[in-house]
Amino acid sequence: MYGGDSDSDGADDERGGRGVKRGRAAADDLDDLEDIGNDDLADDEDEDTEFKVDAHTTRVWLVKVPKFLADKWNDVGARNPGSQLGTLKVNKAMSKATLHVPETPWSATVPKNYNLEFTNMHPQNVYVFSESAMGKAVGVVGTVQHEATVMPIIDDEYQRIMKRRTNDASTSSRVVKRMDDRSAESKRLLASSGDSWNASLEGFQKKKGTGTLDKRERMPRNELLDTLFALFAEYKYWNFKGLVDRTQQPQSWLKEVLNELCVLNKRGPYNGMYELKPEFMTSGSAAADATGVAPGGSG
């Protein structure tokens, strides 16, 4: 699997310059393929462009990959055409396939190992087209033989990269500037903020005692992620109260991290219960094998 304009068969990641379309039900010969292409070229500036169908017998795979991986591949392909993007391993029975990204400087920020699951072994009338700069189909690149989806394998490296990415995203980019209290601007700001400060203090005094303050100490994000992964390896479904009890974290902080990691069921038998998002449920992981509802949990 290589970046750039490689003609070798493999997983098509829908890079720029290519498009995927499902042909008409009766598209069994070149005449129908030409009709499909002419429809797309009707509004093209260059109406004399010949729609090429020479490669219609080329067999390709249509593979959906995570956005972060597609973006990385697009960047590498644009900067270094011909670079190796990964290695695809498929057993003889076509029952198991894995994708492995090479250990290179450009891949340092993406997971290296993925499962490839076939979603349609025999798609009908699905073609990959090359496109002009105007986004119009100008030729057939190949006929889709298989459709599949790539999901990362949740191994130690994957969790390490995801934690680092989450921590980087949560790092504030705002800078605190210390002002000289003798400057004219500082005096002006202090004078104008006096009334607001008094009003805020009065409002705080009025509200004091009307609510409860969650004094639990926030766990670092990476440690909380570790804790949550371990809990969801025990049981597939958790309610919020159960997670608060087990993690002993402030509710607002726990909910923020859960929103990144989990799906909250809003209907059905598990209404009100959290479960891990599909991308964290790769086959073979401890979380994927978990079943049942945590004790005390109810929809």
pLDDT 10s digits, 133-145: 887 888 888 999 8
Q: What is the pLDDT of residues 189-216, one digit of tens each?
A: 656 555 555 555 555 554 554 555 567 7
Helix (H, G, I), strand (E, B) or coil at 15: coil
In tens, the pLDDT along 242-263 reads: 999 988 899 999 999 999 889 9
> Residue holding tokens 């340092």?
108
In this structure, what token pair is assigned to residue 54?
């020479």
pLDDT greater than 80 at residue 45: no
| Chain segment 145-197, per-residue pLDDT in tens | 899 988 888 788 887 887 777 666 656 556 666 666 566 665 566 565 555 55
Q: pLDDT value at position 30?
A: 45
Q: Nearest Cα to 88, choosing from 52, 124, 58, 113?
A: 113
Contacts of residue 238, defined as CB under 8 A and 6 or more positions apart, other chains included, come to: 231, 232, 273, 274, 275, 293, 294, 297
For tokens 């190949």, name the residue: 142
Highest mean pLDDT range out of 219-223, 282-286, 295-299? 219-223
- Whole-number pLDDT of residue 151: 86
Distance (Å, whole) CA 47 – CA 51: 10
d(CA 128, CA 37): 11
pTM of the model: 0.48
Reading the block at residue 65, the tokens are 């990959």
Q: Within 10 A of 154 (CB to CB), how many other CB atoms are there?
A: 24
C-alpha torsion angle, residues 172, 107, 279, 10 (rounded to 10): 150
